[in-house]
Amino acid sequence: MTSYLSVLEVFGGVDTHTHTHHAAVVDQLGRELADREFPATRAGYEALHAWLMGFGRLVLVGVEGTGSYGAGVMRLLTSVGTKVVEVDRPDRSARRAQGKSDPLDAYAAARAAASGRATGTPKSRDGIVESLRCLRLAQRSAIKARTQCINQIRALLINGPANLREQMSQLPTVQMLKRLSHLRPGTDIAHPGTACRQALKSLARRYADLNHEIKELHRTISELTKQAAPELLERPGVGVQVAAQLLITAGDNPDRLGSEASFAHLAGVAPIPASSGKRQNRHRLNRGGDRAANNALYTVAIVRMRYHEPTRAYVQRRTAEGLSKKDIIRCLKRAIAREIYRLLTKPTEPVPSPSLPPRQAA
């Protein structure tokens, strides 16, 4: 005779942290069965999975933070065939009413999976796009450090020795940095002028190192982007950095996005209704979604508005119809998102030359 546990359908929830994960199990009606804490290690992930499987047929597991603390447990669960969904953290009103603790958050994640409220498929983070994400993270950090470095050099020159400031002010930036990197500060480091020259020499050499690092990373990112999506780079207005960001937003498993409308919402370019009273059929820009992807689509729109003749003609026509530049850009970003989605999910299918929004899109 079949036991009760063998046919019981259960749902798991995981509240993730740096060193530990708290797991909880509920049945299909959301009733609490048990909760337990596990270490955030490979062995801990395997123990967590075995513990969840011990309550019945594990249907689904809701995991918080699959892009950060929950990435490891998400990878293990999916590798053994367990379906995982991304769970948003409870909103503030729910936390004010119910309180905050690891077991409560784990049960909330499990109930979100059981009720169907959590449906987002997490990024797999196991392919070339994950490599791109890591490299772009390092590149953006190096670019910020380089900008900080040149700002510090200019600040030191303003407050430093007058003769040095006068010499460097006449030089282009490249020559100025080369000259500073070969300064001979002197031996009296206690003298402010000597210390200033030493600091400028150090910063100039740091700038050169960062510049070399950024170029090397850009070369590697270009190679990976061409390997991952060569068709994407062929579209007007899409450069290496824009293509890399759009690939990162979609992830290694872009099929998790059910439609081009899902990608548009993810990138924050889906128009939001803003009608009220007598003013109907109005939409506004979406200020949600992945802002880095939104910025990438904005870059493509601006480039096409300047250099792509069909887009320029579209802008002129819509401007004559009374549409504002902001609304025109919104329409263009939405159309570009549709085009990019087809390239990311169905790269073998022919994509028409950059589509423009229909007349009724605004």
Helix/strand number for the chain, H first, E second: 15, 7
Farthest-apart Cα atoms in the chain, separation: 95
Task: Return the bridge partners of 24, or none.
Answer: 13, 35
The candidate with the shortest Cα–Cα distance to 104, out of 48, 23, 17, is 23
Residue recorded with tokens 């380089």 = 146
Dihedral angle sign, alpha carbons of residues 290, 296, 301, 302: positive
Running along the chain, 362 residues long, what does each successive block of 10 average in pLDDT?
62 95 94 95 96 94 92 94 88 66 92 91 91 96 97 93 89 94 88 92 96 97 95 95 96 90 91 72 76 96 96 95 91 94 78 58 41
Amino acid at 167: Q
- Residue 182 token pair: 């070969």
Residue 61: other Cβ atoms inside 10 A: 28
The pLDDT of residue 2 is 45
The pLDDT of residue 88 is 84
Dihedral angle sign, alpha carbons of residues 241, 296, 207, 131: negative
The pLDDT of residue 94 is 62
